[in-house]
Structure 1
Amino acid sequence: MPHFIAEYSANIKDDIDFPEFFGEVNQFLGNTGVFPLGGIRSRAIRMDDYVIADAKHDYAFIHMTLKVGAGRDLEIRKGVAEELFKLIEAHFQPLKDRRLLAISFEMIELDPVLNFKSNNIHQFLNAQK
């Protein structure tokens, strides 16, 4: 963990370079020292069916969720979330300057018991050192 998920309205598909954005997000998360690099996943989900506000204009949205494993105290999670949202806002400000855009972000801590994983990427990265 963590998993970073961006849901976005289809009308901004051509305005976002997700590999570039996810590179920034993954680098930030890896550099916090809070999350192991091998657990970081970023992905985008285009939403083709949506209605925003009064539906009278070409509104757009991007909603991001960061799912993290349980066990980190609230202050650590809050600090990461605040800094990540600053990165998000800065990245999308040029798009927001050009069009009507709603940007939202939330961090979710997963249940410590009902969260299952299997991963060999950590071992691979450790062997690369």
Structure 2
Amino acid sequence: MPHLVLLYTPDLENQADIPGLCRALADSMLEQRDESGKAVFPTGGTRVLAYPATHSAVADGKGDYGFLYANLRMGAGRSAAVHKQVGDSLLATLRQYLDALQQQRPIGLTLQIDESSGQVYDGKHSSLHPLFNT
């Protein structure tokens, strides 16, 4: 954790730099610091995954509409100020990559952040974390 999942209309695949966007979003997450200067997210746990929707219907279907939904799921315990800081940073990165395209055609963009405060099981087994826990 944290996991940022992007789900988007398939037409964006050829019109936006999705791999570059994923890297930029991950870098933005890794740059985040809390009020004490500590990294908000662990390097080995930071993931950005992007999926074009196999099927989609946007608005009334009468236009060349696109959509990108981004959902960040992270563990509980961070302050409201950190939530806002992270959200503002991620939204700025999304806009940096999509604003030019939004000037050409209508594209909806949504970013939501959820905390996993009510989880009943959180199983993990990773060989990534030890690479960064030095």
TM norm structure 2 = 0.87
Distance in 2 (alpha carbons) for counterparts of 1:63 and 1:22: 13
The question of 1:120 aligning with 2:124 is answered no
Which is helix-richer, 1 or 2? 1
Kept in 1, the 8 Å contact 2:22–2:50? The answer is no
Alpha-carbon spacing, 1:103–1:109, altered in 2? closer, same or farther (3 Å): same
Alpha-carbon spacing, 1:2–1:17, altered in 2? closer, same or farther (3 Å): same
Kept in 2, the 8 Å contact 1:69–1:112? The answer is no
Q: CA RMSD in A?
A: 1.5
The 5 Å alignment of 1:11-90 reads: 11-32=11-32, 33-90=39-96
**Identity rate of aligned residues, in percent?**
26
Compute the displacement of 1:84 (Å).
Answer: 1.4
In structure 1, the gaps of 5 or more residues are: none
Query: Which consecutive aligned stretches of 4+ in structure 1 deviate over 3 angstroms post-superposition?
Result: none
Distance in 2 (alpha carbons) for counterparts of 1:81 and 1:67: 12
Compute the displacement of 1:70 (Å).
Answer: 1.3
C-alpha distance after superposition, 1:40-70 (max 9, x if no partner): 1111111121111111111110110111111
Distance in 2 (alpha carbons) for counterparts of 1:59 and 1:18: 17
Q: How many residues align?
A: 127
Distance in 2 (alpha carbons) for counterparts of 1:39 and 1:23: 14
